[in-house]
Amino acid sequence: NAGVTQTPKFRILKIGQSMTLQCTQDMNHNYMYWYRQDPGMGLKLIYYSVGAGITDKGEVPNGYNVSRSTTEDFPLRLELAAPSQTSVYFCASSPLGGRLGRNQPQHFGDGTRLSIL
């Protein structure tokens, strides 16, 4: 199993450009998440999905969009790149809760380092 795979690993964008960060997982996990990591700020949730066709906003969704057409893929779209979106982006996935509906560990990809100049 490859786990969670993110592409590209690095990208430089100009202000106003758009791009899609790709995320795919091969663990058949229902839940998928997008986080951004900024120095000294921890990880902030951008969007999440509980299954194909279902997405919802996290803590910092402005400037981003997502879609979930399959269980495996959860792409993150930046429509009009801004310098404030310079960050490291992580995708994660987790299975459904266990017998008591308790949260399960999240598995992370290795991130996309995005610079917007």
First-residue to last-residue Cα distance in the chain = 36
How far does Cα 108 stand from its chain's mean position?
9
Least spacing, CB of residue 67 vs another protein, in Å = 17
**How would you classify residue 72: left for phi > 0, otherwise alpha for psi between -120 and 50, otherwise beta?**
alpha
49-88 binders of another protein (CB under 8 A): 50, 56, 58
Contact stretch for another protein (CB under 8 A) within 16-24, 61-69, 79-87, 102-110: 102-110
Is there binding between residue 108 and another protein (CB under 8 A)? yes
Least spacing, CB of residue 38 vs another protein, in Å = 10
Q: Determine the Cα–Cα distance for residues 64 and 61; give it in Å rounded to an integer.
A: 6
How far does Cα 51 stand from its chain's mean position?
14
Q: Which residues bind another protein (CB under 8 A)?
A: 4, 31, 33, 35, 40-45, 48, 50, 56, 58, 90, 92, 94, 97, 100-111
